Structure 1
Amino acid sequence: MLRITFAALFIFFQTLFSFAQHTNDSSRYTLRKLKLEEVNFVSSYYHQEGNNSAVTGGIGTEKLTDLGTTLDVKLSTYDSRKRKHTLIGEFGVDVYTSASSDKIDPYTISSASTSDVRVYPSITYSVTNDQKRTSYSIVGSVSTEYDYLSKGIGAGWSKLSKDKNREFAVKAQAFLDTWSVILPIELRSTNRRDKKEPRNSYSTSFTLSQIVSKRMQLLLLTDFAYQSGQLATLYHRTYFNNGSHQIENLPDQRFKFPVALRVHYFAGDRFILRSYYRYYQDSWGLQAHTFDIETPIKITPFFSLSPFYRYYTQQGVKYFAPYQEHSLDEVYYTSDYDLSTLSSQLMGMGIRLSPPGGILGISKANALELRYGHYTRSTGLTANTVAILIKIK
C-alpha cells in the first residue's frame, strides 16, 4: 500500500514537471507552483449506551466512546494543456474505549474499559480536463488498529455533458484487510498460535447526476459490492438453547446491492431541501431502507441553521437470533444486534458561520460548522455525537 501511495505522489510531481514547459522554448521548463486550495479540520465526539453486546452473546453493556480527528489538505495546479491536477492528503485518528471488549478476556483487563487507537491516512490524485469534460482519479489508503490492517486502492472516472447539466461517474475500490485472530478466553486452545485471517472487499459504484432546473438537482447512485474471507468477528460469542456457546459463525462471502436517490431543491434564497433515499439488500437476507432529510436555512448571509432527520429500518439477516435462541443444528449463527431486525432515528442540528473577516480574526478560516446528533435504536441503544469543522481556504 505504501508503494501505491508513493507511486501516486511520484506520478503527480512528474506530471507537474513534464507539463510545466515554457510555451516559447520547448527546451526550457518553468515550475508551476502548487496552490493550496483548501484545508479541512474535523473533530468529533461520540458516546453510546446499550445492553446488547455481541461480545457477550447479545446481552451486556455496549458502552463506547470515540474521539475522532481528521485533517485533509487539498493542493492543485494546472499544466500547459490547462488540465487541473489535484492532490488531496488526509490523515485521521480515532481514539476509542469499549467496555464490552473487556469481556473478551476479563482476567487480563484491570481498567473499567479497554481502549485502542485507529490511524487511517489516505491520498487522492486526480486530473480534470475541462475541454474534454472528463476527470479521472486514483486513491490509496491504509487503516490500522491493534487487531486489524486494511489496505485500499481505488480509481474513478467521470464525464460531463456538453451543457454541463449532467454527469456520469464510475468508481472502483478494493480493500485488502487482515484480522488478527482473537477468541474469547474460554474458547482458546492452549497450543494456539497467533494467526491472521483475510477479509477482502471489492465494489463498483455508478452515479448519474442531473440538473433538472435552476431549483432542482438529482443524483442516482448504485453499488455492486462483494466481500470474501473472515466475515464473522471471532471474539463475538453465540449462546445456544442448551446453554453452550461458540464463536460467531457467518458465511465467508457476501454480496451487497444498494441503490440511492438524492434530491436537492433550492426553495428561494434562504432555504434548501436536501432529501435522500437508499434501498439496500444483500445475500445474507438483510434488507434496509434509509430516509434522510436536511433543510439548511440561511438566517443571514453569514449564518445558517441545518436541522436534519434520518429514519432507518432493516429486516435482519437470516442467521441472527437473540441470546440462547440458536439451535445446535444451525450452520451459521450470530447474536450481533447490528444484523437484527431493527429501526433507528437520528435527529439533530447544524450551525454554520462564514463571516467575511474570517473565524476569530483569521481571514483564511472562512467557515466554522458545529453539528449535534441524537441517535436512538429500537433495540434500546442510544447515542450522542458532536462534531466541529473548520475550513481554511
Structure 2
Amino acid sequence: MKKISLTVIGLYLGILAAFSQPKPDSVYQSRKLKIEEINLVSSYYHQEGDHAAVTGGIGSQKLTDISNSLEIKLNRYDKKYRKQTWSLDLGIDHYTSASSDKIDPKTLTSASYADTRVYPTLAFSRENEKKGTEFGVGASFSAEYDYTSIGVNGHFSKKTKNRMGEFSAKAQVYLDQIHLIYPMELRDGASPEKLKTGSDARNSFSGTFSWSQIVNQRLQLMFLLDLVQQTGYLSLPFNRTYFDDGSVHVERLPDSRFKLPLGFRANYFVGDHLVLRGYYRYYMDNWGLKAHTASLETAIKVSPFFSVSPFYRYYRQTAVDYFRPYAAHKAGQDYYTSNYDLSEFNSHFFGSGIRLAPPAGVFGIKHFNSLELRYGHYTRSNTLQSNIISLHLKYK
C-alpha cells in the first residue's frame, strides 16, 4: 500500500582530494576485499490526519511505520589501482494503516491493515582516483502485499583536473507490478466502469544530472536536474472517488506523467564550529502540479566529538488538474481523484539531530565510528501531522 514518504534534508559535504599512488607493498595489501563501513538505520514514523484517499478524501489517515535498513560496503583496489566498492543494503518496513483497512469495511481487520515491505539493493562502483572518474551499476527489488518492483540503475561521474568541480549522471528504471485490489463494493462488476482484474504495470524512467563546485574554502555549490517519465497504471486501485450524484468510483488518472525537478544546494562553512546547508527545488509535471521546496540545516560543532543539527523545510504545491474533494467530482470527467497528496497545500518540517563520534568509539567500541539521532515534526495545511525519529549507527 502506498504511504506518505518524508524526505529529510540531504547532506552533501563534497571533499575532493588528489590521488596519491600508494607504494607497491600497500597496493598489494589494498587488493584484498575488506569492509569499508556498515550502516544501520532504524526509524519510527507516525501520522494522523482526516483526508484518507481510500475513503474518498475523508476519514482517518492514521499510520505507523517501523523501518530498518542494514548497509554493508566492501572495497578493494584492482591491479590498475582503481577502487572497487560493493554495497549490499537490506531494508524492512512494517506498517499499520487505518485507511487501508477500509478497503473492505465489512471486515474487522483485513489483510491490508498491516503489511511488511522487504527491499534489498545490490550495487557496484569503480573509481579511478587518479583520473577523477567513477562509474557504477545497481539493482533493487521491493515487495509487499499489493505490489512488486524491480529496479536497475547506472551512474557516472567525472571531476575536473583541479578536483574543484564534478559532473554526475545517473539513470534509473523501475518496473512495477500492481495487484489490482478494489474497494469491496466495487468488485465483481459492481463498479460504474469496467475494471481490469489481476495486475497491471507501472514503469518509471529517470535521469539525474548534477554539477558540484567548490568555490573556495568556505563555499560549495551544487546544481541538480531530474527528468522523470512514468507510464502504465498510475492510479491506486483501492482509492475511492465520490461524485456529486452520490455514486462511488475507483480513482482514475492518466497513464503517463512527466516530472521535472530543478534543484540547488549551497554549503557554507562559517567557521570551525558552524556549517550552513541550504537547498531549493522547483518542481512541475504535466498533471498541473507545481511545487517549491526551501530548506536550511545548520551543523553546530559543540565539541570535537559532538554536534547538533537543527533543520527546517518549507514546501508548497498546487493541486493536479484532476483533484476534487469528497463528492465534488461531476459525471463526464475523464480523470478524477480525491487523494489529498495531489491537492493544494503547504507544509512545514522541522526538528534536529545530534551526532556523537568519540575517538574511542561509540559505547567504547573502537570501530563503532559514530551515532546520529534525529527527530522531525511534519505538519500540513490540510490536517496531516506526523513525527519521525531515526537512529543511524556507523561501523567503520
Q: TM-score, normalised by structure 2?
A: 0.90
CA offsets 1:127-186 (integer angstroms, 9 cap, x no match) = 001222110000100010011100000001110000000000111000000000000000
Deviation, structure 1 residue 110: 3.3
Alignment match, 2:203: 200
Q: Distance in 2 between matches of 1:111 and 1:104?
A: 8
Check conservation: 1:100, 1:113, Cα contact below 8 A: no
Task: Write the mapping of 1:343-382 to structure 2, written as runs, cut at 5 A.
Answer: 343-382=346-385
Alignment match, 1:219: 222
Check conservation: 1:310, 1:347, Cα contact below 8 A: yes
Alignment match, 1:122: 121
Pick the aligned partner of 2:263 from 260, 265, 277: 260
Alignment match, 1:178: 177
Deviation, structure 1 residue 124: 0.8
Task: Write the mapping of 1:222-371 to structure 2, written as runs, cut at 5 A.
Answer: 222-371=225-374
Q: Distance in 2 between matches of 1:144 and 1:194?
A: 20
* CA 112–79 in structure 1, closer or farther in 2 if over 3 Å, else same: closer
CA offsets 1:88-142 (integer angstroms, 9 cap, x no match) = 1100000000000111012234379810000000011000012221100001000
Q: Distance in 2 between matches of 1:280 and 1:194?
A: 34
Q: Distance in 1 between matches of 2:372 and 2:29?
A: 40
Q: Distance in 2 between matches of 1:211 and 1:287?
A: 31
Check conservation: 1:344, 1:376, Cα contact below 8 A: yes
Q: Distance in 2 between matches of 1:200 and 1:366?
A: 39
Alignment match, 2:14: none
% same residue = 52
Q: Distance in 2 between matches of 1:193 and 1:316?
A: 27
Q: Distance in 1 between matches of 2:353 and 2:327?
A: 42
Q: TM-score, normalised by structure 1?
A: 0.91
Runs of 5+ consecutive residues of structure 1 not aligned to the other structure: 1-22, 24-28
Check conservation: 2:278, 2:295, Cα contact below 8 A: yes
Deviation, structure 1 residue 193: 8.9
Alignment match, 1:98: 97
* CA 332–112 in structure 1, closer or farther in 2 if over 3 Å, else same: closer
SS of the equivalent of 1:267 reads strand
Which runs of 4 or more aligned residues in structure 1 lie more than 4 Å from their structure 2 counterparts after TM superposition?
Answer: 190-194
CA offsets 1:280-308 (integer angstroms, 9 cap, x no match) = 00010000000011001000000110000
Q: Distance in 2 between matches of 1:308 and 1:32?
A: 41
Q: Distance in 2 between matches of 1:193 and 1:225?
A: 26
Q: Distance in 2 between matches of 1:209 and 1:110?
A: 50
Q: Distance in 2 between matches of 1:134 and 1:352?
A: 31
Q: Distance in 2 between matches of 1:60 and 1:112?
A: 19
Check conservation: 2:112, 2:145, Cα contact below 8 A: no
Deviation, structure 1 residue 373: 0.4
Pick the aligned partner of 1:209 from 207, 212, 226: 212
Q: Distance in 1 between matches of 2:208 and 2:196?
A: 39
Deviation, structure 1 residue 361: 1.5
Deviation, structure 1 residue 330: 1.0
SS of the equivalent of 1:387 reads strand
Alignment match, 1:86: 85
* CA 322–302 in structure 1, closer or farther in 2 if over 3 Å, else same: same
Q: Distance in 2 between matches of 1:143 and 1:229?
A: 18
Check conservation: 2:69, 2:89, Cα contact below 8 A: yes
Q: Distance in 2 between matches of 1:198 and 1:111?
A: 24
Alignment match, 1:4: none
Check conservation: 1:104, 1:185, Cα contact below 8 A: yes
CA offsets 1:48-72 (integer angstroms, 9 cap, x no match) = 0000000000000000000000000
Runs of 5+ consecutive residues of structure 2 not aligned to the other structure: 1-23
Q: Distance in 2 between matches of 1:194 and 1:67?
A: 31
Check conservation: 1:99, 1:113, Cα contact below 8 A: no
SS of the equivalent of 1:102 reads helix
Q: Distance in 1 between matches of 2:143 and 2:164?
A: 40
Q: Distance in 1 between matches of 2:196 and 2:241?
A: 23
RMSD: 1.9
1:54 aligns with 2:53: yes
Number of residues paired by the alignment? 367
SS of the equivalent of 1:295 reads strand
Q: Distance in 2 between matches of 1:285 and 1:174?
A: 24
